[in-house]
Amino acid sequence: YATCHPAISADGTKMIFSSNRPGGQGGMDLWSVEWNGSSWTAPVNLGATVNSAEKEIFTFMDKNGGLFYASDRWNGFGGLDLFVAQSTETTWSTPKNLGTGMNSDKDDFGIWVASDGVSCYFSSDRLGGRGGDDIYQWNCNFNSC
């Protein structure tokens, strides 16, 4: 199986990554491991709230624990769309599609959010770019996501 696109929490104690390992929902799923002081714990699937039968890839965790990622799940605009989910003590919130503007009918992925929670950068192969996958800057208040 493949393992890719790791993101480490601001405090360095949690890592979320994509993998098609057995035990997932299908496609590439998001998995979590935690640092116990000397090693990483066994991977745990984030479950059906975050994962779909499609691909969940290109993870990023902001300083507030927001999990940003790309997915080609059924409720998107086409291609890969950007989503965010919030962690509680035991579960994840229903992922929120970041909407039009950030998402297009092409692949939108690889988001990085600045510590101010307002500025971000992401990649897209949308029309109007310079060709292939381009990097875009966007301003949106992710602190309210």
Per-residue pLDDT of the chain (145 residues; tens, 9 = 90+): 999 999 999 999 999 999 999 999 999 999 999 999 999 999 999 999 999 999 999 999 998 889 999 999 988 899 999 999 998 878 899 999 999 888 999 999 999 999 888 889 999 999 888 988 999 998 887 765 5
Q: Which amino acid is at 87?
A: S
Give yes or no for a contact between 28 and 55, defined as CB atoms under 8 angstroms apart. Answer: yes
Q: Which residues fall within 8 angstroms of residue 36, CB to CB, at 6 or more apart? A: none
Q: What is the pLDDT of residue 128?
A: 85
Sheet with 44-45, edge to edge strand ranges: 3-8, 14-19, 29-34, 44-45
| SS3 state of residue 142 | helix
pLDDT, residue 143, reads: 63
SS3 at position 144: helix
